[in-house]
Amino acid sequence: MSKMLSKIQWMKLLVPIVSVVLGLLCGAIIMVAAGYNPLLAYGSIVQSIFLQPYYTGETIRAMIPLVLSGLAVAFAFRTGLFNIGVEGQLLVGWFASVAAAIVFEGLPKVILLPLCIIAGGAAGGIWGFLPGFLKARFKVHEVISTIMMNYIALYTTSYLIKNFLYTEGERTPTIPSAASLASPTLANLTQGSRLHWGFIVAILAAVAMWFILWKTTRGYELRAVGFSPDASKYAGMNVSRNIILSMTISGIFAGLSGAMEGLGTYQYMMINSTFTGIGFNGIAVALLGLNTPVGVILAGALFAGLQTGGLTMQSVAGVPVELIQIVIALIIFFVGSSYVIKWALLRFSMRGHKN
């Protein structure tokens, strides 16, 4: 019996791995069909990420918001909710952190930096709280309301920047260094990449997710409500409160993701005409990472690596950088069709068993 269980768990782990392999393989086929050399292309990605400090730094830098967004999606998913609104929560978090930095300019770093990070998390939290409240109180489906909230966030932040924090170049002024996560040390270490201290925030957030969900009574409740709202209600839990709480915590993770962009990568916020895409990639990261904190970090690393290393693919192998988006899309496709992969793996392992 325990042997069978471990087999099922193995299977679970194998699905994302097989998906990644298949995605890369199909990407290679497309490259060959288009007349490029896939070995050279993939080789350039690996080479740049692992041997060129600049790309290593940029990969870790790109990981930070991806991991936080992935955690946001995974946290909500673990409690039975589908938070499509990470993108919007990220935007308001980004804005709030930058706005706080500019408004409170002059405060010492020990106060200002935590304040800005908290502001970003809080703004995301509010943006998650609203759909959670609507769902708990009026049964508005969170997928619909979070998508709407994304647009509200996109245009509201643009409006606020234009009217209150505008500066040359369609953006806010640069934040004071007392609010910045950027680090000359880290930059020097990685030949001038934009790597910043936000990676510590991302790691802490992953630990927080694990701790909250699996070590606290609140997390026990959240998971119970996620699996079975009915049984939770019968056991005396407050289902509505847990839905709101879950969306709020998820929103905080997403808001932090935005704060990392504002305080770390860019040091300002631009007027976005479209979504950043990071929040949506968070869905894929969570899915590929099986909604576990460690999985999200690994999946975030993979996506960040592909995106960053993909830039060198063009210069080294002449492969258009868009192709890496196709590879990412293929990986997501294969994870999505995990049922087929599980079926194939089962067939394969059974045949092996008989012989």
Q: Could you list the residues that contact other proteins (CB under 8 A)?
A: 1-5, 7, 215-218, 220-221, 223-224, 227-228, 230-238
Give 230 or 322: the residue with its C-beta nearer to other proteins.
Answer: 230
Closest CA to 99 of 264, 266, 262, 275: 262
**In the complex, what is the shortest distance from the CB of residue 233 to other proteins, in angstroms, rounded to a whole number?**
7
Sign of torsion, CA 274 278 279 281?
positive
Q: Which is nearer to other proteins, 212 or 311 (CB)?
A: 212
**Token reading at 50:** 């692992």
CA dist., res. 291 & res. 21, Å (int) = 20
Q: Rounded to the nearest 10 degrees, what angle do helices 53-78 and 86-103 cross at?
A: 120
Nearer to other proteins, 29 or 346 (CB): 346
- Judged by CB, which is closer to other proteins: 232, or 281? 232
Closest distance of CB 204 from other proteins, Å: 18
Q: Which is nearer to other proteins, 217 or 273 (CB)?
A: 217
Distance CA 256, CA 227 (A): 27
Q: Output the DSSP codes for 311-353.
A: HHHHHHH---THHHHHHHHHHHHHHHTHHHHHHHHHHHHHHHH
